[in-house]
A and B are shown apart, each in its own frame.
Chain A
């Protein structure tokens, strides 16, 4: 059993703003998949073309960390996902660079199972318990590709969650966990394959979930001495309707404690979903409640927490979006073709302007790593003038001081749009291509892309914030470039909390 002092200290969440209406999917595919028409209710989250598991994880982590520039307390980063963009380049390292974490940290990719999120969380909890880390950051994120007209297309969603693990100022104390490792292949995705291959659902339900989950729950309850009736929140991702309630009941847990799987508003976010649901639960739970997190996949994880009085203050923090706020920040998408296009499922005519070679000079990337990945510019220590990018000679008018610049972070500063255009000429995955000059509070400006907007929404003076996104994809070499983009500030978090 873990020491009493280990647990969760903060949460963050990110669900992409676009919500594809399921009826748009089933309507388009009814001719080929009439059996799916019955699953038309609700909406699924849909990452924009420039979002991937890394960018979503970064946004969830930024939500958790807040605007504080000093992130030196974070000494470990665990990233769980089954859809990380690089097989050999530390994906958690990309997230660490974007978050401007210190270099002297451990960053770990946890992959290859739907339990990647909970495995990452358990690694962090055990690491802090063993005093290997003081403050570990856990992110889980997934953006799974699905075939058109498949049930997965309707059930899945894109999203990410983040949790901070520490031993002080806990919002939820870690009581204990139990893990079973079982090579039960309900589905698999071979190396290099794009899509899942699944076995019969009835077998998965009856021979898999119905047997493996109760055994694992029993394991954690026995270990911790907590009785099933004490559980206030039974949190388990599951795409079978009402199965969590049945499993809870089988374990002696009250069915009414079963957490919302978010099927109606989000869809299942893969390896992220256990943590997405946990964050969603934390945003609603009361102090002193017991949360049992169960995650199935190649076995099962069962993790038990008890919330503390400190949770209430964090729930009331209007700057923190969490999953509740993310879900409230939504835009309905009814264009199924856009979903297919963003996910590379149709060959579309991109025009010659898309032929530009996106080869990235890795030397240049590394030389400018804090600028490109962390949006770190410079501040002249003599004049206070702020600029991006940093340079040996300051841009300060009439005072071009030399070698006076110190690093200056832009990512968490608000900005307003000075000038902009919606460009229909240049290649864009989501035309028109919006970009312009962003002027930052406190000085400095950057010409940059504007993401997540529709024509008519942008104007000079609009307040924006920065998000970490995919800049370009080099399909020829399998590389991805990341940079920062501006999105409008939408005050949906406070609204969502008021509605809760």
Chain B
């Protein structure tokens, strides 16, 4: 394995806009909101930025293509801006670009900004895409919930879980995230819900009801990265470093070969293994302090607990019901509310996850601050169960 990224890059500053139905803002204003917070946090001038990575997913609405929208909105000093798009994992992809630029020495300070303006669609849920010219001729006219819901049917069949037991477990996933979102003033959805409410919500895609689906939100997030040495020279304390950044992309095996059983994410398991190796983590269930995972749907979060090797295979239902991932559990998950309640402005989500880890590691998470976390994991997924992009990143206190 390559030498890896561990502790080579530090986070100098981060910012995140308020997520939600930002009727007052276009993508430009959202980017500026996250950028100004990150710049103030980093304590640098625009002229100190060497390069930028910009993530946004949907072209039809939002910023339009290329790196120009970021450069114009932020009035960047004519530096390189690379636009990245990797489905819902785009935000992690932007962070990866900036981190690698610093690690390589090509840049001293780099910025990653992600944004999505989803509420210019005219309807709820994600816009329907136009994926090339062949796919529409052969693939169902599905939706994100319809694709992810399929995990439930395959998981039930594989682990012999009853419909009701699985429905209740995924309901708990959402109840927990809603409880966490209440404490986050930047979150889109800040109302607690009961298990009964979740179970009785209107069906979106069997078995996922309304509360099994994450918020569709406007928002932006930004990260400014540099080397630990430069950060220290700038007088920064409590340095937070990147321990691992791994990305695994489906090659068609899941969608075309019968070796995949439909109940888990093939890519997540690969990315997780590589990330643990890169970060030097041997026992994730013991060593990871907290997680932000890609809970686009409650069932996604549940199976991801196994894919990240935190819950044993077939054991996620029990762990979830035992409160293992609750705010007061051994590994709090979605402490900021997650995609479920913080919201899911696609291009920003990977960076939003890192933002929460960063705040928690620096002890700046306010009402939702966890006691002394050392290692945070972010899991950012794009696509659907049978074909996807999966990022697993580990961020921690320097030396942890």
Binding site for B on A (CB under 8 A): 351-353, 356-358, 360-361, 363-365, 368, 371-372, 385, 387-389, 391, 395-397, 417-428, 432-433, 435-437, 439, 443-449, 455, 459-461, 471-472, 481, 483
B253 contacts partner chain A, Cβ-Cβ < 8 Å: yes
Number of residues in B with C-beta < 8 Å to the partner?
Answer: 46
CA distance A483 to B153 in the complex (A): 25
Assuming the contacts A395-B253, A425-B204, A425-B205, asked whether A368 and B134 have C-beta atoms less than 8 A apart, the reply is yes
Q: Specify which of B123, B137, B203 lies most central, judged by the most chain A CB atoms within 10 Å of its CB.
A: B137
B315 contacts partner chain A, Cβ-Cβ < 8 Å: no
Assuming the contacts A437-B150, A445-B255, asked whether A364 and B133 have C-beta atoms less than 8 A apart, the reply is yes
Assuming the contacts A436-B150, A447-B386, A461-B157, asked whether A425 and B206 have C-beta atoms less than 8 A apart, the reply is no
B67 contacts partner chain A, Cβ-Cβ < 8 Å: no
B142-A423 in contact (CB<8A): yes
Which residues does chain A contribute within 8 Å of B203, judged by CB atoms?
Answer: 422, 424, 432
CB distance from B124 to the nearest CB of A (A): 9
Partner of A428, one of B138, B141, B157, B252: B141
B128-A419 in contact (CB<8A): no
Partner of B253, one of A352, A397, A483: A397
Which residues does chain B contribute within 8 Å of A420, judged by CB atoms?
Answer: 150, 153
A426-B253 in contact (CB<8A): no
CA distance A205 to B60 in the complex (A): 60
Among residues of B, the one whose C-beta sits closest to the C-beta of A395 is B256
B130 contacts partner chain A, Cβ-Cβ < 8 Å: yes
Chain B, range 347-366, C-beta contacts under 8 Å to A: none
A395-B156 in contact (CB<8A): no
B140 contacts partner chain A, Cβ-Cβ < 8 Å: yes
CB 8 Å contact bits of B125-136 with A (1 = contact, 0 = none): 100101001101
B138-A389 in contact (CB<8A): yes
Chain B, range 228-253, C-beta contacts under 8 Å to A: 251-253
B39-47, B78-86, B179-187, B257-265: which lies at the interface = B257-265
Assuming the contacts A365-B137, A368-B137, A435-B140, asked whether A444 and B258 have C-beta atoms less than 8 A apart, the reply is yes
Among residues of B, the one whose C-beta sits closest to the C-beta of A388 is B256
Which residues does chain B contribute within 8 Å of A483, judged by CB atoms?
Answer: 137-138
CA distance A365 to B125 in the complex (A): 30
Which residues does chain A contribute within 8 Å of B206, judged by CB atoms?
Answer: 421-423, 432, 455
Which residues does chain B contribute within 8 Å of A421, judged by CB atoms?
Answer: 145-147, 149-150, 152-153, 205-206, 208
B369 contacts partner chain A, Cβ-Cβ < 8 Å: no
Which residues does chain A contribute within 8 Å of B145, judged by CB atoms?
Answer: 421, 423, 425
Binding site for A on B (CB under 8 A): 121-123, 125, 128, 130, 133-134, 136-143, 145-147, 149-154, 156-157, 202-206, 208, 251-253, 255-259, 261-263, 385-386
B137-A352 in contact (CB<8A): no
Assuming the contacts A423-B145, A433-B146, asked whether A395 and B137 have C-beta atoms less than 8 A apart, the reply is no
CB distance from B232 to the nearest CB of A (A): 46
B134-A387 in contact (CB<8A): no
CA distance A448 to B258 in the complex (A): 15
Which residues does chain A contribute within 8 Å of B125, judged by CB atoms?
Answer: 353, 425
CA distance A423 to B150 in the complex (A): 10
Assuming the contacts A420-B153, A483-B137, asked whether A435 and B256 have C-beta atoms less than 8 A apart, the reply is no
22 contacts between A and B (CB under 8 A): A353-B123, A356-B141, A360-B137, A368-B138, A388-B256, A391-B252, A395-B252, A397-B257, A417-B153, A419-B153, A421-B147, A423-B145, A427-B128, A432-B206, A433-B142, A435-B146, A436-B150, A443-B258, A445-B258, A459-B153, A460-B157, A483-B138
Which residues does chain B contribute within 8 Å of A439, judged by CB atoms?
Answer: 258
Among residues of B, the one whose C-beta sits closest to the C-beta of A460 is B157
Which residues does chain A contribute within 8 Å of B157, judged by CB atoms?
Answer: 460-461
CB distance from A279 to the nearest CB of B (A): 32
B138-A352 in contact (CB<8A): no
CB distance from A89 to the nearest CB of B (A): 16
B149-A423 in contact (CB<8A): yes
Interface contacts beyond A395-B256, A424-B204, A433-B146: sample of 11 additional A-B pairs, CB < 8 Å, sorted by A: A352-B121, A353-B123, A358-B136, A389-B138, A395-B253, A421-B206, A422-B203, A423-B143, A423-B146, A435-B146, A449-B140
CB distance from A432 to the nearest CB of B (A): 7
CB distance from B128 to the nearest CB of A (A): 5
Assuming the contacts A365-B137, A427-B141, A428-B141, asked whether A437 and B257 have C-beta atoms less than 8 A apart, the reply is no
Among residues of B, the one whose C-beta sits closest to the C-beta of A432 is B206
CB distance from A457 to the nearest CB of B (A): 12
Q: Specify which of B128, B140, B253, B263 lies most central, judged by the most chain A CB atoms within 10 Å of its CB.
A: B140
